[in-house]
Structure 1
Amino acid sequence: MLQSDIQYTKVRWLLTIAGLFLYVVDIWTDIGLALKYFQEKHFVWTGLTLVFVLAGLLVTQIFSYAWYKDDMNDVWINPEGRPTISGMSKGGLAVLHLFGFGIFTRYYHLLKRGSKVIWTTTDSYTVEERREAHHNLFCLATDLSMLKLFESFLESVPQLLLQLYIVLGHEECSVMQYLSMAFSFFNIAWALVDYRRCLRRSLPQTREMPSGLPTAIYLLYKLCTITSQILSYTLLLILSTYTTVALTILWLMATTWTHLLQTNFCSSLGLEFLYRAVIGVILTFTFFNVKGQDTRVAMIIYYSFYSLINVTAPLLLAFLKPELQITTFLLTVSGLIFGFSVLGLVCLLLYYLLLHPRGMWREADEVDGLRKETETTKRIRNFLQP
């Protein structure tokens, strides 16, 4: 019998369905909002809303297809050199990804394989075989969670920023906007925690993040820092739409830093540049360890700059638009920025000082050591480290 911390459990299987639901609803609420803006002749808002949806879909399809091809060419995963993977040819996979069904294909395979492993009882497998089956499920889930992380920062996070700017800066409020923001927020939260837990579990010599308090503190740290950052950017956009130029410069700086780190995540140079550009977007809103190295100094610099933006944004709006100094709007948003910033940084310190899993996983024995390093495990080893 496998221990609970090395199993892809029934609860995880059901939560995968919940993640799929959030993903679909988030996209459809954004598309519905774009249609609403189009009917109201807000064509710029329509275009931006759709651009973020399409950016998330396009990038995730590109990486999903590339990973399928890598796995197909892997001698350990496909020792017979078959022209198919998971029952699909390269052409079939290309068509599915061309029409945006790449993530749905991965959900289907994860749920199908998971149901065979966790919803059926059989004594025909040894402990090692069952361990390997559960590990493979976590690898499938980790690939999917990385794609969801990309999608959330390319679609949900910019969407949340855009809708907050419209609601706060133009006083355009509707039920559809609030639904879009709510599901974007939930999708971000889900992507962060799911990625964190799946990544650590799929690496055999890394301890899994415990559930309960550590997960809650980590989620609070990420959500509070990202939310305060988005609110600060929103105030700067209200002050001037030229803030988009400053955000572009921040993205270029983050992308350049990622390039200087010489990441080796992708199998081709073109995909590697795309990957670094995506990481630049993520770093514009939150910090991740890009190469799995000690980043204490980089994190201190990052969050010092983050704190400077959160202090500067409300002050600039108050001084440059004095008519807003005593309004409920500015006081409320400034209070939220301050509160989320402090809470986020406190949770960051609590998590990394007291709750962050350290050391080797206790089950990292000779079975794990003998496991062949496939393209999947190589890829996961190079994933972003939270």
Structure 2
Amino acid sequence: MEEDFPFHSTLFDYLLTLLGLFLYLLDVCLDIWTAVSFYQDGAYGYLAVLIFLLLGSSVLLQVFSWLWYSDVLDKLETGVEKCVNRHRLIKPVHVLQLGVCFRYAGVVEISTYSFLRQTDHFSENVALSLNFDLQMLRLIETFSESAPQLTLMISIIAHRGNLELITGIKTLVSAAAIASSIVAYHRCMRAFLPEQRQLGWTSSFVYFLWNLLLIIPRVTALAFFFSVLPCYIIAHFLSVWMLLVLGAWSQKTDFMENQYWEWLYRAAVGLIWYFSWLNVAKERSKEKSIVYYVIMGLDTMVLLGLWCWMVVDQAGCLNTFDPYIVIPVLLGLYIFGIGLRMIYYRWLHPKCLESEIAEPHKPEDMGREAACYMVEDTSPEPAPPTQPITGVHKRTRTMAVNFFS
């Protein structure tokens, strides 16, 4: 059995960890400020929608976080986790909606020890495991809160028919933040590859750009549709989301430990798919992504067509948002984004066959070099059966297999 190797954190990695925590806390403060602004302006309808998005996303994150903790309460590694668990406060922490902050504290602790070169405290397996769960939670939060909230903000702008420069910049920054969260998840997946196949600046930029170009048309189409037919957006979301959940079920996902909780994961996948693609199965991933983008492209065109039909006679809206200009621009961004995605997966994305991804014999064998290498069977006799991996090691390996297939 291979031994765990220490986790080394550079100054850049350490600063990124602290920046991530700061941006998370800043996002919470901005959400509160936005809610207060809606209340002061008397926009109680928008306030109700915002509160629903914030509370719904937070509860979803806490449920996932608690489920992932519940199986490993006796195997916690960081001092923060051990202290809170010793006083039986992990469940109250999640009830108070502080689970993500708690996980950030654990990641910051590991990064601090590593940055100070006290590498005997934690192995890289522990660091990767904690970081993976955190990035997975942040990815779910991105599409359960940030993307819907951006849709709400754009719909308000479209409804008022007035786009100021500062508002446009804020909207673009919000879309870039969503794409950045996807890149952060991508970097987390790349951590399971050998050092020479880590995510470089060129591939990072291309990956960020094509996600940004595909997210902007999707979110804008939903927002414009919401601005003219607010009651129908719920019916649209529920119908599309349920079909996407069934699509996740048809791929026989195996992410959670319990088959009943697997449906919660599939529901979260359907929510992510409502805005962006995430590969959750290893078989025929290329064909499935093609089908997905064709369907989402057609759905986006229908939404834009209905918006155009509703506003074409409203001269006030055409002063800022002319459908005959907006729609071709958005479709052009979508097509360009698809082209960049093809370039990325043709030349920049590492590909690993399932047979090249190591099956760790024990959870602690799950490290960076256990992600991709050829397995040669030189034993004259069949190898003894190994214990199945569970918990975060199962989740990380499952997503790595799906991501690089």
Q: TM-score scaled to structure 2, two decimals?
A: 0.79
User: Matched residues in 2 for 1:338 and 1:175: separation?
Assistant: 22
SS at match of 1:144: helix
> 2:29 aligned with 1:28, yes or no?
yes
User: Matched residues in 1 for 2:145 and 2:217: separation?
Assistant: 18
For residue 86 of structure 1, what is the amino acid of its counterpart? K
Q: CA 1:292–1:209 in 2, change beyond 3 Å: closer, same or farther?
A: farther
User: Matched residues in 1 for 2:118 and 2:311: separation?
Assistant: 67
1:87 corresponds in structure 2 to 83
Q: CA 1:256–1:154 in 2, change beyond 3 Å: closer, same or farther?
A: same
**How many residue pairs were aligned?**
365
User: Matched residues in 2 for 1:99 and 1:175: separation?
Assistant: 38
The one of 210, 232, 238 aligned to 1:248: 238
User: Matched residues in 1 for 2:360 and 2:304: separation?
Assistant: 55
String of CA shifts for 1:253-309, please: whole Å, max 9, x gaps. 001111222322222344222211111110111111112333111111111122223
TM-aligned CA deviation for residue 58 of structure 1:
1.0
2:249 corresponds in structure 1 to 259
The more displaced of 113-122 and 34-43 is 113-122
User: Matched residues in 1 for 2:81 and 2:118: separation?
Assistant: 26
> 2:222 aligned with 1:233, yes or no?
yes
String of CA shifts for 1:80-116, please: whole Å, max 9, x gaps. xxxx953332831011111121111111111112211
2:59 corresponds in structure 1 to 58
2:394 corresponds in structure 1 to 378
Structure 2: runs of 5 or more not aligned:
1-6, 367-388
> 2:333 aligned with 1:340, yes or no?
yes
For residue 205 of structure 2, what is the amino acid of its counterpart? A
User: Matched residues in 2 for 1:368 and 1:118: separation?
Assistant: 30
> 2:185 aligned with 1:195, yes or no?
yes
TM-aligned CA deviation for residue 368 of structure 1:
9.5
SS at match of 2:89: helix
String of CA shifts for 1:218-254, please: whole Å, max 9, x gaps. 1111121111111111222234221331121001100
What is the RMSD of the two structures over their aligned residues, measured on CA atoms?
Answer: 3.3
Q: 1:1-386 counterparts in 2 under 5 A?
A: 7-72=8-73, 77=75, 86-89=82-85, 91-120=88-117, 133-171=123-161, 181=171, 184-201=174-191, 203=192, 208-241=197-230, 242-323=232-313, 327-330=319-322, 331-359=324-352, 371=365, 373=389, 375-383=391-399, 385-386=402-403
User: Matched residues in 2 for 1:183 and 1:62: separation?
Assistant: 29
Conservation of the 8 A alpha-carbon contact between 1:26 and 1:187: no
Q: CA 1:53–1:21 in 2, change beyond 3 Å: closer, same or farther?
A: same
Q: CA 1:266–1:374 in 2, change beyond 3 Å: closer, same or farther?
A: closer
Conservation of the 8 A alpha-carbon contact between 1:197 and 1:208: no
For residue 371 of structure 1, what is the amino acid of its counterpart? D
User: Matched residues in 2 for 1:284 and 1:346: separation?
Assistant: 21
Conservation of the 8 A alpha-carbon contact between 1:110 and 1:140: yes
Q: Which consecutive aligned stretches of 4+ in structure 1 deviate over 6 angstroms post-superposition?
A: 172-180, 363-370
Q: CA 1:365–1:143 in 2, change beyond 3 Å: closer, same or farther?
A: closer
String of CA shifts for 1:48-94, please: whole Å, max 9, x gaps. 11111112211111111111122226xxx479xxxx95333283101
User: Matched residues in 1 for 2:399 and 2:57: separation?
Assistant: 18
The more displaced of 217-226 and 311-320 is 311-320
User: Matched residues in 1 for 2:358 and 2:239: separation?
Assistant: 47
User: Matched residues in 2 for 1:193 and 1:170: separation?
Assistant: 33
1:3 corresponds in structure 2 to none
Q: TM-score scaled to structure 1, two decimals?
A: 0.83
Percent pairwise identity: 24
Structure 1: runs of 5 or more not aligned:
1-5
